[in-house]
């Protein structure tokens, strides 16, 4: 498998966080249920964890806009092909699918890596103008995630709050995403 960014700090951080218990399930749930981009979630957390401060809604919008076409025209169609082949053989013999599906998974993963590389390239400019870092990087991560879901006009409900808390707790011990009623 070609790993475009195997030594890039953002990719390495993302892989490590994604492999922690509950994170993959939480990421995929918020992706499927709320339309959140997992790479943007990881980007918000990585930016905070590297001491870059909290991303503003404008900065999140810039990042989102930069990868939107790639996400819509490349990643989502690859994801749909992979999921379709896993759920329905479409009349194709199983032994052929066992060869084909891993290749699609590899291409999909590489497409995700390309998206992260684009975000990482944006990071330097975005992060140099991020709002000042708080005393606690987890607060910056929460602030960036709030900006992200606000940009998407997603209203955080109990399930979203729980999933984002799982991801944040894996990144920062004791961190959580505030409930909608919290300030």
DSSP the chain: ---TTTT-HHHHHHHHHHTSTTHHHHHHHHHHHH---HHHHHHHHHHHHTT--BPPHHHHHHHHHHHHHHIIIIIHHHHHHHHHHHH--TT--HHHHHHHHHHHHHHHHHHHHHHHHHHHHHHHHHHHTSBPP-SSHHHHHHHHHHHHHHHTTPPP-HHHHHHHHHHHHHHSTT--PPPTT--
Domain ranges for the chain = 10-171
134-156, pLDDT tens digit by residue?
568 899 999 999 999 999 999 99
More confident residue, 173 or 123: 173
Question: With 70 as the cut, is the pLDDT of residue 48 above it?
Answer: yes
Query: According to the model, what pLDDT value does residue 4 have?
Result: 57
Q: Flag whether the pTM goes above 0.85.
A: yes
pLDDT at position 40: 97
**More confident site: 182 or 154:** 154
Give residue-wise pLDDT tens across range 94-128.
889 899 999 999 999 999 999 999 998 887 776 65
């Amino acid at each position: 498998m070609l790993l475009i960014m195997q030594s890039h700090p953002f990719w390495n951080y993302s892989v490590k966080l994604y492999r922690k218990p509950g994170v993959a399930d939480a990421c995929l749930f918020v992706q499927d249920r709320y339309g959140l981009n997992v790479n943007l979630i990881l980007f918000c957390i990585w930016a905070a964890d590297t001491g870059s401060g909290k991303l503003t809604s404008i900065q999140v919008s810039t990042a989102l806009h930069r990868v939107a076409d790639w996400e819509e025209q490349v990643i989502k169609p690859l994801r749909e092909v992979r999921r379709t082949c896993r759920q329905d053989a479409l009349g194709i013999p199983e032994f052929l699918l066992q060869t084909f599906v891993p290749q699609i998974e590899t291409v999909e993963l590489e497409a995700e890596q390309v998206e992260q590389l684009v975000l990482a390239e944006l990071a330097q400019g975005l992060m140099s103008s991020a709002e000042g870092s708080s005393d606690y990087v987890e607060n910056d991560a929460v602030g960036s995630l709030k900006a992200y879901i606000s940009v998407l006009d997603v209203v955080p409900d109990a399930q979203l709050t729980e999933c984002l808390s799982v991801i944040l707790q894996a990144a920062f011990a004791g961190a959580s995403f505030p409930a909608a009623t919290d300030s």
